[in-house]
Structure 1
Amino acid sequence: MGIGRRVSLPFAGRAEAGEMLAEMLVDAGLADPVVLALPRGGVAVAAPVAARLCAPLEVLVTRKIGHPLQPELGLGAVAEGGEPVFDAALLARLRMRPEDLTPVVERERRELARRVTAYRGDRTPPVLTGRDVVIVDDGLATGGTARAALRAVRKVRPRRLVLAVPVGSPQTVTALRDEADEVVILAAPPGFHAVGQWYRDFEQLTDEDVLRLLRRRTDGGSAV
C-alpha cells in the first residue's frame, strides 16, 4: 500500500484531489496504463490523473446492492463484467442470504446497463489484458463498489492492478490491500465517517458532468 506525503484536508474539490493523486502516480512506474473511473464522483478525480499519465480515461460502472427495505444500507455491489460481491459478515448478522437480494441485483444490473450505454454509447472499451490498470474513485468508505470493480477487472488478467483514491477509511484501505496489486492513497485519516467530510466542495455529479469529462479525456495512444 502506498500513502503519499502529508496532505492538508479537506481537499478543495475532486479536481484538486485528482491532481495531487496524479503527482503520486506519475512515479509509480506504470507501463501503458489505462485509467478506469468509478462514476460518477470518481470521474472528476480520474480526469487529471489520466491527463498527467497521458493515459486513456474510461468509466467502469458499478452499482451498490442495497437492503430491500433500506436501500442506503449497502449489502454488496456489482461492476460491469463482474459478478455481485456481497458483504458476507453483514448478511450473516442480518440473517439474509444472497438469494434474498436477487430482485435488487436484477434491478441494479438494469441500471448498470443503462449507465454503460449512457456513458460509453458505441465506444469500444479499452483492452485491459496485459496492461497496467488504475481504478480511481473519489474515496473509500465501505469499499463495496471498489471491491466489485477490482474483482471484475482482475478477471481479464491485467499486468498490474492499482486502486488509487485521494482519501479512505483506514480499515477499508487495509481490507482492500489483497484485492489490488497496490493501493495508492493520499490520506487515510482517523475519524473517517463519510467521503464527503474530506472535501469542501462535494457536489454530486450528473450524467452530463460525466460525459463532459470523458469528452475531454486525454488519449493515451490506444483507442477507447
Structure 2
Amino acid sequence: MMFDDRVDAGRRLGAHLRNLGVTATVVAGLPRGGVPVAAEVATILGAPLDVIIVRKLGYPRHPEVAMGAIGEEGVRLIDTDLVRHLGVTLTEIDAVEARERDVLIRRAAALRGDRPPRNLAGASILIVDDGIATGATASAACLVARKRGAAEVIVAAPVGGSDAVQRVRGADRVICLEQPAGFQAVGEYYRDFGQTTEAEVVALLEKTNEHS
C-alpha cells in the first residue's frame, strides 16, 4: 500500500483504529512527521491531540542508524547490543545525546510554549508516528507516557517492519496498518514524504484542539 501523504495515511489509520474499536483519552503524535498523521487519527477518534517529544540517537558514522533514543522526562534508551557490535564508545554516545537533548529542549519550547505537558495520570494514550523503522523512538515515547502516569499505552503507525514492531518496548499494544515484506524505510511508502515544519505542528495542535 502506498500513501499519498501523511494526511492520507492518518485517515486510513484512523479508520482502521475506529474499526478495531480503539479508544484513547489522548492521541500523541511524535514530532514532527508523526503529528499530521496523529491529527487525522485524533479527529476520527474524537480525542484531543498532544505531542510527546523524542529524538533518535544516530550512530555517529551513519546517523540514519538508530543506536537508541531519548525523550522528555529524562528518558534514555540505548541499544546495547548494537552499540557493542558497532564499537561505539561512551564518549561518542554522550556527545550524540547532548546534541539531541539540546534539540529536544528547544523543540519542546517551540511546540508547547509555556503550556505544561498534558496530565496523563490514569489515561489511555495512543502514540502515533508516520512509520516504525526501528522502534527506538516509539519505545522512548512509551516510557515518557508511563512516567507521566498513563495507564494504557498503544502505539500505532501506518507502516512499519514486522521486526521493528516487535521491538517496541513499553506498549500494551502495537498496531501497524501495513507491514510489508522487505521493509527498509518509512518514506518508501509515501508518494509525498516532505519535511513537516514546527509551524505546521503548532498549527495542527491548535486546530485539532480548538473545540476540545
Category of TM-score, reference length = shorter chain:
over 0.9
Gaps of 5+ in 2: none
Cα offset for 1:195?
A: 0.2
1:86–1:98 CA contact under 8 A, matched in 2? no
**3-state DSSP class of the match of 1:72?**
strand
2:187 aligned partner, one-letter code: G
> Does residue 129 in structure 1 map to residue 121 in structure 2?
yes
1:174 aligned partner, one-letter code: Q
1:29–1:187 Cα change, 3 Å? closer
1:35–1:219 Cα change, 3 Å? farther
Structure 1, residues 24-60: CA drift from partner, whole Å, max 9, x if none? Answer: 22243425x1011001110010011111122111111
Cα distance in 1, alignment partners of residues 37 and 140 from structure 2: 19
Report the TM-score, using the length of structure 1 for normalisation.
0.87
Cα offset for 1:220?
A: 7.3
167, 171, 176: which one pairs with 1:185?
A: 176
2:31–2:52 CA contact under 8 A, matched in 1? yes
Which moved further from structure 2: 61-70 or 110-119?
Answer: 61-70
> Does residue 93 in structure 1 map to residue 85 in structure 2?
yes
1:35–1:135 CA contact under 8 A, matched in 2? yes
1:55–1:219 CA contact under 8 A, matched in 2? no
Q: Could you say which residue in structure 2 is the equivalent of 1:168?
A: 160
210, 215, 220: which one pairs with 2:206?
A: 215
**Aligned 1:79-90 pairs, distance under 5 A:** 79-90=71-82
Cα offset for 1:99?
A: 5.1
189, 194, 215: which one pairs with 2:185?
A: 194
- Identity fraction in percent: 43
1:87 aligned partner, one-letter code: D
Greater RCO, CA 8 A, separation 6+: 1
Q: Could you say which residue in structure 2 is the equivalent of 1:108?
A: 100
Cα distance in 2, alignment partners of residues 119 and 145 from structure 1: 18
1:198 aligned partner, one-letter code: Y
1:18 aligned partner, one-letter code: G
1:82–1:151 CA contact under 8 A, matched in 2? no
49, 53, 70: which one pairs with 1:61?
A: 53
> Does residue 23 in structure 1 map to residue 47 in structure 2?
no
1:54–1:218 CA contact under 8 A, matched in 2? no
**3-state DSSP class of the match of 2:75?**
coil
Q: Could you say which residue in structure 2 is the equivalent of 1:3?
A: none
- Residue correspondences, number: 211
Gaps of 5+ in 1: 1-8
Report the TM-score, using the length of structure 2 for normalisation.
0.92
More helix by share: 2
